[in-house]
Structure 1
Amino acid sequence: PRPSLGAVLSSPIAPYKNAKGKPKTGDARLYRILMTESAYLIWKLRCERVIGGAENPNRPQATPQEVGARWLQTINERLRTDCLMTNTSKYGKKALNKTLVERTWEGTLRNEDNLPPDW
């Protein structure tokens, strides 16, 4: 099914639980990241089309390949930010927990088995 505005707005409180009823923080966090980053990209693309189209009506719209590449870039930037935010010497107590970042992104990375232990 297509995500609705309600699904996007309620994504921060999506209930992801395991078979025992305990919260699956990694899955819930990944869902929240994907929904909010995707909605923000859609908004940016629309603004580019509407505002940019007013200035240049002959400007071609983004192709599905361009949209896919921009989405992948957005998600990769978020992954990189998550990895950088685990630096406890730089961020101290505000640093992200490495286990949380690993749980969030597990199963989504290419060649995940070949990554170093402290990626």
Structure 2
Amino acid sequence: KLLSPKKQTEQRPSTDIMLERVKTAVRVWTSKAPTDKKIWLSIQKKNISCGAQNFLWRCLHDSYRLGKKWFHLEGYEEHASCHECNELDSLDHILTVCKTPGQELIWKLTETLWNRTGKPWPDISLGVILGCGLSNHIVNNELPDTGLNRLFLIIVSEAACLIWKICCEWKIKHEGRLDKCPTAIEVANKWRSTMSKRIQFEIIASNSGRFKNKAIPFKMVKKTWGKLLSTENLQGLRMRDITGFLVGIGLDDPP
């Protein structure tokens, strides 16, 4: 389980900076500024996959070795920069700016999926990504729209985590070679696979007969994905049906 730093423990300056960035972004996005506690709790929600939780937690602590953190390691200084963009590497750069290997396409696909809800898509920034569990959509101007807020949390956290995984695979496994950079089709297929698996997991996990009190309430799954998938037989969907839907909403021709 992910835990926020204890009150008596002094936070690292880099963590404080990240928290302030989230507060600023969420304030602009939702008109409400969250507390540090709410930010930490938002990345511990059980709706976030374990992989995405760990990723967001490390991002909030700014604990990944990126950019200037390489400067003091003799012989590794070249790892500080993105060779393709010729800029200092950072979480901002990888998740929202880098030309390779596919972050722009992944956000376009995620935005296209979200647009099916009819709700506005925010300007994606590092602060919005790390604060994705703090969206504030409401129903009838009163109650939180749990399905919509949950959907945003899931698709943004999964998209960001996927961008990071693809980047790590390209830079570490393939040493950042341009001839090994994934194509747009490969990136789109990875995105479809990630989203399809998540939807399929939720459908399976909502089986109360199989998982008893540990099952995800089917009403919540339906609130989250029902409108997007446009089907009355949500529990009967198979992986190929879900993947077919993701292709069928205009994502089969990536730019």
Tell me the TM-score normalised to structure 1 length: 0.85
Say yes or no: does 1:72 pair with 2:192: yes
Q: Out of 57-66 and 85-94, give the one that drifted further.
A: 57-66
Q: Considering only aligned residues, what root-mean-square deviation do their CA atoms show, in Å?
A: 1.9
**Correspondences of 1:29-68 after superposition (within 5 Å):** 29-54=150-175, 57=177, 59-68=179-188
Post-superposition offset of 1:45: 0.5
- Output the amino acid matched with 1:4: S
**Distance in 2 between the 1:21 and 1:58 partners?**
50
Greater RCO, CA 8 A, separation 6+? 1
After superposition, the Cα gap between the structure-2 partners of 1:118 and 1:58, relative to the gap in structure 1 and judged at 3 Å, is: closer
Identity %: 29
Greater Rg over alpha carbons, structure: 2
| Residue 14 of structure 1: how far off its partner (Å) | 1.2
2:215 aligned with 1:98: no
* Deviation, structure 1 residue 4: 1.0
Write out the 4+ residue segments of structure 1 that deviate beyond 3 Å after TM superposition: 56-59
**Structure 1 residue 89 displacement after superposition:** 2.6
Structure 2, unmatched stretches of 5+, are: 1-121, 237-255
| Distance in structure 2 (CA, Å) of the matches to 1:72 and 1:61 | 18
Normalised to the residue count of structure 2, the TM-score between the two structures is: 0.42
Shift of 1:71: 0.6
Partner SS state of residue 106, structure 1:
helix
Paired residue total: 115
- Which residue identity lines up with residue 202 of structure 2 in the other structure? D
Q: Unaligned 5+ residue runs, structure 1?
A: none
